[in-house]
Structure 1
Amino acid sequence: MIERFPKWWFFYLIAKALFYVAGIIGLVSYGIMYLTVALTHPNPSLSTWIIGIGCWVLLFTPFAINRFIATKRKQKIQAVIEKVKQTGYFNPDQNGEYFLFWQSTYIGFDFRQGTILYIRIYPGNVMDVIGLDAYSLVRTEVDGSKLSLYTKFSTLPMIPLKTGAASSIANHLHAMSYKGYRYSFDFNDVLKKKCHEMATLTGMPVPELM
């Protein structure tokens, strides 16, 4: 079974929490203090400049790295979206696309054909590409910015989304379930047959959902 979250992810979350709680406060405090001394002292030492500038570099480096990774993943997701469009079963509406940049997640709606595309790249460099229709979900739950999509897939029974547009996405899903779409195709089955192409395109595995 392909692991979406690697074993080190738990320790990364702990380190991230500690950085937000103590690291940011400490780096900002020392950065301001040392740079103030360096700028006001008539003859500041080289170490004062190094420590002052180094604190700000250490503060912004993690954000820069995360943004770079998220940007590269967004490019991969966009490449997959274009590949899915070529099937002819998905042409998202302009107001029906949601890209969760920092979560490397996309969900889009084709209201005319009644298809929904969900893509997410996980920390373990594993990518889910899931095709849904208006009747694929068992239920949806909204709790503030948290949206839970319960599916019929035993290997991925729940899709979590955290976004300010949680209510809007849920409203799209609810409205589609009442549109009375009729399908002559299985959208997710169409995408299953493209898994190898998508994996080759992005350089990461695409698990087949059961």
Structure 2
Amino acid sequence: MRLALYTGLILAGGYAGLTPALAADPTGDWRVADGVANIRVAQCYGSMWGAVSWEKQPGGRDENNPDASKKNRPTLGMATLIDMKKKPGVDQWEGQVYNAKDGQLYSATITPAGPDQLEIKGCVMGFLCGGETWTRVGPPIPSSPANAMAKGAAKSSGTAPKPQGGQAGQGAQAAQAGSGTTTPAPAAPKAAGAAKPGQKGAADAVGDICLLPEIAGFAH
């Protein structure tokens, strides 16, 4: 049985110039076998994780998830390779893979097959095994800054620093000089579509997958 990993989603070009030295590195962006999505693989908190980084059909939802509360979650940024640990002595990682085509988790392994291919194999309850080969479309990913975060590090208070006196409204106050009144400067407009954890911007809506809530929450 062929393990079809639907991520519901697209590809944004190829990546060339890889060297044999990168053959054992599974990190980077990979196109799934049927070309409907890219999966970004990165090392997060000591394990390999993968998340959908690009969709062929934007706006996909995890509609086949048996958990009703997750049926409407976006497939972009959704974790597909889950907590995969390196096997001793071999360039292979094992853990779980989420198959959005049927909403099920499978035991799985990923194995680099040269610098440009990643073999993924999965089984249900130790049988009905299948697999496919993904093709590299993005370079290996350096270790995430999130990996260096100490669990006991002090958390930010979340309160933005107040502007220093005279900076925010300086221009407006100058314009009112001599009139006997001062007009406070208008508040700066809020940026449209505030970035979510892991996001980098419009060109890369997923960013560092280690910062995605689903992955960061599982690891901690």
Relative to its length, the structure with more strand (as a share) is 2
Structure number with greater CO (CA < 8 Å, separation at least 6) is 2
Structure-1-length-normalised TM-score: 0.25
Structure-2-length-normalised TM-score: 0.24
